[in-house]
Amino acid sequence: MNPPRRKPQIALSRVPSIQELCDKLGIKDKRKRHCFTQTALSWRTTYLTSEGQYGTDLTAWNLLSVQRDLTDMAINFLRQYEGKFWECGADVQHPRNKAR
């Protein structure tokens, strides 16, 4: 039986670029922006899901399991790096729609 599929909640064309993420997170310093970009790219290539799948392999966006893994990946990134690149308590939208 195939895993359940559903349409992604956001079109690929609407996924913000890394620079847009920096803007939304309020990362203005050029060095911090560069460091954030490098950290995010490294995170994506080294992150492992609970099933041992790399973040770079999470490309089947229509699969519910991939959507959950991407959400977990984003939450874990925010938890690990909160306050390093942006102000703690800044008006940042948490992946599960909770203000952080």
Residues 7, 62 contacting (CB under 8 angstroms): yes
* pLDDT for the residue numbered 4: 60
- The mean pLDDT value for 73-83 works out to 88
Tokens representing 22 are 């920096």
pLDDT digits (tens, 9 = 90+) for 20-59: 988 888 888 898 889 999 999 999 999 999 999 999 998 8
CB atoms within 10 A of CB 78: 15
Helices (H) and strands (E) in the chain, counts: 3, 0
* pLDDT for the residue numbered 51: 93
Q: How far apart are CA 41 and CA 54, in angstroms?
A: 12
Where do we find the tokens 């938890």? 79
pTM score above 0.85: no
Where do we find the tokens 């995170």? 43
pLDDT at 63 over 50: yes
